[in-house]
Amino acid sequence: MKRTILLTLMFIISMTAISFAQSDKGKEMEKMSKAEKKALKQAEMKANKDSLLQIIENKQWVLEAYQLQGKYGQTFNLSPTTNFVAVKGDRNVWQFAFNGLIGWNGIGGITIDGKVTKYEVSPGKKAKSAISIRMNTMAPGTGPANIIMTVTSDGHARATVSGAFSNDRLTFTGKLSPLEMSNIYKGTSLF
């Protein structure tokens, strides 16, 4: 009984301290002028964009997709763990998988593992403007594919994969992250 009361009191005290800490931060933000807030936001966006540009230029990134859109606009919500577009050096992997289905990669979809043959990055002029990536890949079994990707300064990305593999187009939407910090599971490649 004493232990329960003690734990309850500790919880109440810690929650009170957290709420005061949050309200102090809010008061500091209220004291800042509109120009200071805008400058702070611009600096934060620039820092985010610079870190994203660094991993993109190093070719060590993964787009963990939570949504896939087909050629005619059908949209599917997906698990970011098994649906991604990744680049590691001169290698490229793109994979999509649907839960509960059987697919060529063993997890309900397709995994294409290929080589990057062309890689262009356009960083954009302003801190707010998106980073554009254009790359051509070659994979056994599917042939050449074009990937056009845009990344905003907050890390949201959209990659459109199109190629000669059936004259189809897939659009992956998700969050861009460094390869070493990603949580992806790669299925079996086609060839």
The pLDDT assigned to 23 comes to 52
The pLDDT assigned to 107 comes to 82
Mean pLDDT of 157-184: 88
pLDDT band at 41 (very low <50, low <70, confident <90, very high): confident
Count of domains forming the chain = 2
* Residue 83 and residue 157 share a domain: yes
Residues of the domain holding 41: 2-48
Q: Are 189 and 86 in contact (CB under 8 A)?
A: no
pLDDT band at 1 (very low <50, low <70, confident <90, very high): low
* Residue 173 and residue 91 share a domain: yes
Mean pLDDT of 114-141: 89
| Residue 147 belongs to domain with CATH number | 2.40.128.410
Mean pLDDT of 166-172: 82
- HEC-encoded secondary structure of the chain: CHHHHHHHHHHHHHHHHHHHHHHHHHHHHHHCCHHHHHHHHHHHHHHHHHHHHHHHHCCEEEEEEEEEECCCCCEEECCCCCCEEEEECCEEEEEEECCCCCCCCCCCEEEEEEEEEEEEEECCCCCCCCEEEEEEEEECCCEEEEEEEEECCCCEEEEEEEECCCCCEEEEEEEEEEHHHCCCCCCCCCC
Mean pLDDT of 127-156: 89
Compare 11 and 90 and report the one with higher pLDDT: 90
Helix locations, the chain, DSSP H: 2-31, 34-57
pLDDT digits (tens, 9 = 90+) for 18-34: 666 555 555 566 677 78
The pLDDT assigned to 55 comes to 92
* Residue 177 and residue 133 share a domain: yes
The residue among 48, 68, 86 that closes a domain is 48
Q: Residue for token digits 């620039």?
A: 46
What percent of the chain shows pLDDT beyond 90? 36
Across 31-35, 46-50, 175-179, the highest mean pLDDT is recorded for 175-179
Mean pLDDT of the chain: 83
Mean pLDDT of 107-129: 87
| pLDDT at residue 150 is higher than 60 | yes
